[in-house]
Amino acid sequence: CMGVTGRPAAGEDIAVARDIILSELTGCHLHVAHVSSARAVELIRQAKKRGSRVTTEVTAQHLYFTDDYLKGYEPVYKMAPPIRAEKDRQALIEGVLDGTIDAIITDHAPHANEEKDVPFCCAPNGIAGLETSLSSVLTMLYHTHRLSIDRIVELMSTNPARLLRVEGGILDAGKPADITVINPDYEWTVHGKDLYTKTLFTPYEGITLKGKAVLTLVDGQVVMKEGKVLK
């Protein structure tokens, strides 16, 4: 007990089980957003084995952090769903590796400093995930030899595009030139003050990550080069 209202994994597990049952009843595609518990991953794995129309995704930060980080009551680690136990984090990684989890996402939810810099109980959920998610995934899963770059591109680009039914994630003539160039060996230490997001808080503060997006094109135009956003 930490003196704050908990959000036990049982709540997520029950909701996911219910929604899978309803999806199977109606034949509707179910996408489970931000899966975070070991049992929910297992429920989705079994549903997929039965041929159910279920997809899911996980945030980069749920693959990196555990509830150990919550012990200091720092609002920077407050997100929804909450970061859970190490066994949940391991199950999420397993779900990514075996294809149960279709995509890894940023869940970019920045808050202004004055909103987030309040006692834990009052702080809003969510962190700025955009500028750290790729680096986090490369550090956690590529440099530990668990995922290839090709697989990471699938999980973070091609599959999300397919799930959202938007063009993109494909390099081909006539397709949108929305391109990210990655340097997988670029090491950098994260400091919230250096990020472009409106929040100075990041759970990765002071953490050294390996791998970074070094160039971004949107519709054929270079919009970011070596960490600098261009007008």
Cite the active site residues: 107
Residue 57 found at the interface with Zn ion (CB under 5 A) = no
Please, which residue, 124 or 168, has the CB nearer to Zn ion?
124
Q: How far is the CB of 53 from Zn ion (least distance, A)?
A: 22
177 exposure class (CB count in 10 Å sphere: 0-12, 13-18, 19+): exposed
Query: What is d(CA 93, CA 101) in angstroms, rounded to the nearest whole number?
Result: 9
Please, which residue, 57 or 107, has the CB nearer to Zn ion?
107
Query: What is d(CA 124, CA 110) in angstroms, rounded to the nearest whole number?
Result: 10
Give the three-state DSSP class for 101: coil
Please, which residue, 76 or 182, has the CB nearer to Zn ion?
76
Q: How far is the CB of 57 from Zn ion (least distance, A)?
A: 10
Query: What is d(CA 127, CA 116) in angstroms, rounded to the nearest whole number?
Result: 9
- The footprint of Zn ion on residues 68-127 (CB under 5 A) is 107
- The footprint of Zn ion on residues 162-221 (CB under 5 A) is none
Please, which residue, 110 or 192, has the CB nearer to Zn ion?
110
CB 147 within 8 A of CB 96: yes
**In the complex, residue closest to Zn ion by CB:** 107
Q: How far is the CB of 23 from Zn ion (least distance, A)?
A: 20
Question: 68: which DSSP letter?
Answer: G
Q: How far is the CB of 150 from Zn ion (least distance, A)?
A: 26
Query: What is d(CA 54, CA 47) in angstroms, rounded to the nearest whole number?
Result: 7
Question: 124: which DSSP letter?
Answer: P
Query: CA triplet 159, 160, 161: central angle to 5 degrees?
Result: 90
- The footprint of Zn ion on residues 150-169 (CB under 5 A) is none
Binding site for Zn ion (CB under 5 A): 107
